[in-house]
Structure 1
């Protein structure tokens, strides 16, 4: 995989803009402009415009009633659709990935999960979202299921910003650690249990998002 230094400028800008959404720096409902991306990322106008075009096409941005581009807040119906889609695809990616992981790979996932737990304990929303994404996608990379992963990536762009509520909800009622269950299943080479753990992890996160959406009404 090419490093940032090897990627074209427009691709680097796109990925950095995408990460602003994935990792909670652009919250649901927040407006996004070309000038804003230029300033936040020290990017050129043309790469910023292209990044916004791509993110809009992927559903990560949409036009509000006043025609401003915003990070779209989730509705309950959209969350239900994403739950159906993610629990149908990601557990299968995880099962495929589990076949290819080595003990050193599991150790690396465990280190990521430790960083995630530290961010969660500190109420570090950005750190939590970044390490949660890293845990899943470091695991999924072992599946080599490019088509499934591309579909899953689009789902993450829609749900990622709303996962920030998990940090707030966890401070009230600590959640079962499904990543720890995933790691134990990987070490046991129980591929079905890996898929089940990821399935339950998605349901857990979406349940908290739903609670946050209800509280906002």
Structure 2
């Protein structure tokens, strides 16, 4: 489902990836996130993708089986990357103005996509999910926002903390917000924190560029 947040040309693209295990004809679990993005970015476009596979009970899956695996992820990534490239080209947007927002399995898919594919998206909002394995390198010029509930039993928060520490050590732009009393899911408090991070977080790259520009301006002439 594609939802234009404004009829004028889009200046941002948010690609929304739902969790796995949902009924294909069930409620739109990402509607609150899309509404928050619409309120904050009226000139953006939101593209919600559906998991392409169905399990034996008819529930949507990003990969075969309930649990993610290296093989399942390897099969799921190429069509996602291709779709993102096509949509960015269609909207004539550079990759830096594409953002991925995923919940649960969708968060894992978004995080691993920017790890595997350079120059794919400029930001990732990962709700209630994390990496398949501890990241071994920083994604190229990507701001990663990890948003998690401390009571999440499906994806324990300690994995999010470990990934955030690894990314910081690798020099990545990353934030990790762990909110108490929240279980697995896309909670309003996590959405509000995500909107705050989108408004206020300044990538380290921009800080470095600002420092270099200030130093250049202070150098004596002649």
TM-score tier, shorter chain, comes to under 0.3
Higher relative contact order (Cα pairs below 8 Å, separated by 6+ residues): 1
Q: TM-score normalised to the size of structure 2? A: 0.27
Which structure shows the bigger proportion of residues in strand conformation?
2
Q: TM-score normalised to the size of structure 1? A: 0.28
Which structure shows the bigger proportion of residues in helix conformation?
1
